[in-house]
Structure 1
Amino acid sequence: MSKTLDRIASPGCDNDERNKQKSDAEVSEERIKLGIFRKAKNVSSKLRNSIRNKLRRRNDFAVCETGELKSVDAFRQDLISDNLLPARFDDYYIMLRFLKARKFNIENAKRMWADMIQWRKDFGVDTITEDFDFTELNDVQEYYPQGYHSVDKDGRPVYIERLGKMDVDKLVQVTTFDRFVKYQVQEFEKTLAVRFPACSLAANRHIDSSTTILDVQGLGLMSLTGPVVEFIKVIQKIDNDNYPEVRLINYRHVYQICPKYP
C-alpha cells in the first residue's frame, strides 16, 4: 500500500521507470519523430523567409514603379507646357522609353523628345506607312536578307538582319540608299502601330520592345565598305534618337535557327 502511494505521490519516478523499460525500437522511433519535427520547423522557417523576401521584392517593385509614374507625370507636364505632346504620343510607355534613354533626366529627355518631333515633321514619318510604297522589297531581300520572324520567349517580335549576306553592289542596283532608309523607318512605324499591339494581345501583357538579332556570319573587314558602314550608322542614329528602347540587340549567328525570313 505504501509503495502504491509513493508511486502516486512521485509521478516523476514512475516515468523514469517507464523510460527505462522502453525498448530500443521505441527510443529510436521517438528520435526519428523529433528529427522530422525539427526538419519541418526548418522548412517552415525557410518558407516564411521566402514569403517575406517575395513581399519585399514586390514592395521594392512597387516603389520603383511609383517612381517611374512620378517621373513620367512630371515629364508629361513639361511636354504639355511646351506644346510638345501631340495626342498620338500621349502614351505612358512612349514617354517612359525616352526617360530611360536619358537616365530619367527630364531636361535631357525633353530635348531628345523635341528633336524627335521635329525629325518626324521633316522626314514625313506620320504618313510614311500610307505614302511610301517599297516595291523593290523582294529584290532587296535577296541581296540583304532581313525582316521580322516570330517572337522571342517573352513575346517580343524578333527582327533579324543577316549582315554577312549583304551584297552591296547588287543592292544599289535595285534600290537607293534614301529609299531603303525610308523603308526602315516605315518598318519602325509598323512595329509601333501593328506588331506591338498584336504581340501584347497574344502575350496578355504590354509589349513595347523587340529583339534584334544581327547575324554577322561571313561578315569580315572586307565586307565593311563605305556604303555598308554609312548605312549602319544612319539606321542606328534614327533608331537611337527617335525609337529609344524599342530594339534590344543580340549579336549571334542565326543561319541555322531561322533559315527563312518573311
Structure 2
Amino acid sequence: MTRTKRFIISLIVKVEFEIQRIEISLGHTNLLLIVKIFSVIHSLRFISTPQENDTEEEYDDHTLMRFATARSFRLDKTKEQLIETITWRDLEGIDSIPLPILNPGTPILYPKIYGYFGGNSVHKTDKEGRGIYIERAGYHDSKRLAKYVKQEELTNWHIRCQEFSHRVIMPELSRRAGKIIDKETVIFDCEGMGFHQLHLPSLTLYRAIAELDQKYYPGRLGKLFVVNAPFIFVKIWR
C-alpha cells in the first residue's frame, strides 16, 4: 500500500464517512471514490468571503463531510449549500440566539408550543454513542398547533431546539465517547396516531420544518426507527 493510499484512507476513517454504507477496499473503483471525496473536502476549505473568514475554524472535516454527502459530493452544489448556510447563520445571528433552557432570553411562547406536542426528549445513547431522540408523534395536537402557532414562531422554536442539540448535547456526547458525535438516532413513536392528525395546515408547518433541516442542518440523522405505526401510516410510507 502506497503512502498516498494510506493517507487518504486514514482521512476517511477520521471523518467517519458512512462506513456502514461503503465497503472500503483498495480496488480501483473505490480508490477513485475516495480520491473524489478527498478532493471535494479539500476544495471546500478554500471557500472564503468577507463574512466567512472563520470557516476554517468552525467547519471541520465532519461538518464538510455532512454537507458533501447531502449533495452527493457534487462540489458546486455542496459549495452553494455551505455558503447559503454560513450566510443564513450570520444574517439571522444563529450563533447568539438564546437556547431553550433556563434562559431569560427565551421567548415565553416556547413552553406553550411544547404543550401541543405529545412529548419528545433525548433519552440515553445508542451503541455508537449518539443521542437517542424519541418523538411521540402519535400524541401531537396538530390542529391546535396550526391554530395557535404561526409558521415563523414554530420555525424559530425548532431552530433553537436544533442549536441546543448541536451546541450542547452533541459536544457533551462527543466528550463522553472520546470521538466526534454529530448525528442522532431518532425514534418516531406513532402510538395514538390517527386520521385526525392528517390536518393540512399542520402538515404545512411540518413540511417547512423538514425543508429547513435539509437546507441548513444536513446529515444529522444517523438512524431512524418508526414504531407502533398504524396500518394507514405503513401504506403511506411505502
Structure 1 window deviating more from structure 2 (114-123 vs 233-242): it is 114-123
Deviation (angstroms), 1:162 = 1.6
Question: Cα RMSD between the aligned structures?
Answer: 3.1
Q: Does structure 1 residue 73 correspond to structure 2 residue 31?
A: no
| Cα distance per residue 1:57-112 (max 9 Å; x no partner) | 876499676654443112212x1379645345331211111111111111110111
The reply to whether residue 220 of structure 1 matches residue 194 of structure 2 is yes
What do the CA deviations read for 1:38-68 (whole angstroms, capped 9, x no partner)? xxxxxxxxxxxxxxxxxxx876499676654
Asked if the contact 1:216–1:251 (Cα under 8 Å) also holds between the matched residues in 2, the reply is: no
- 1:211 to 2:179 alignment: no
Q: 2:137 aligned with 1:168, yes or no?
A: no
Match of 2:54 in 1: 86
Give the counterpart letter for 1:195 in structure 2.
I
User: Following TM superposition, by how much is the alpha carbon of 1:227 offset from its aligned partner in structure 2, in angstroms?
Assistant: 2.6
Task: Give me the whole-angstrom Cα distance separating, in 2, the residues matched to 1:141 and 1:167.
Answer: 10
Q: Give 1:17-96 correspondences, 5 Å limit.
A: 60=26, 68-77=37-46, 79-80=47-48, 84=52, 86-87=54-55, 89-96=58-65
Q: Residue 159 of structure 1: SS of its match in structure 2? A: strand
Deviation at 1:250, TM superposition (A): 1.6
Partner of 2:106: 133
Q: How many residues align?
A: 198
Give the CA deviation at 1:213: 1.9
State the SS of the aligned residue for 1:155. coil
Task: Give the alignment partner of residue 199 of structure 1, picking from 149, 154, 173.
Answer: 173
Report the AA paired with residue 54 of structure 2: P
* 1:173/1:185 CA distance change after superposition, 3 Å: same
State the identity %. 23
8 A contact 1:156–1:210 mirrored in 2: yes
Is there any run of 5+ residues in structure 1 with no aligned partner, and where?
Answer: 1-56, 256-262
1:7 alignment partner in structure 2: none
1:148 aligned onto 2:122: yes
Give unpaired runs (5+ residues) of structure 2.
Answer: 1-22, 230-238
Aligned residues of 1:146 and 1:162 also touching (Cα < 8 A): yes
Cα shift readout 1:186-214 (whole Å, capped 9, x = no counterpart)? 12112222211111111122211111222
Q: How far apart are residue 236 of structure 1 and its match? A: 0.7
Q: Distance in 1 between matches of 2:75 and 2:53?
A: 14
The match for 1:239 among 185, 205, 213 is 213
Distance 1:139 1:104 in 2: 41
Partner in structure 1 of residue 3 of structure 2: none
SS of corresponding position for 2:97: helix
User: Which has more helix, going by share of residues?
Assistant: 1
Distance in 1 separating the partners of 2:105 and 2:153: 9
- Tell me if 1:108 matches 2:77: yes
Between the aligned partners of 1:208 and 1:186, the Cα distance in structure 2 is 17
CA distance in 2, matches of 1:151, 1:184: 22
Shift of the 91–161 alpha-carbon distance from structure 1 to 2, 3 Å rule, reads same
Shift in Å, 1:132: 5.0
Structure-1 separation of matches of 2:151 and 2:51: 34
Partner of 1:99: 68
Per the normalisation by structure 1, the TM-score is: 0.64
Q: Match for residue 117 of structure 1?
A: 86
- Conserved? CA contact 2:143–2:202, under 8 Å: no
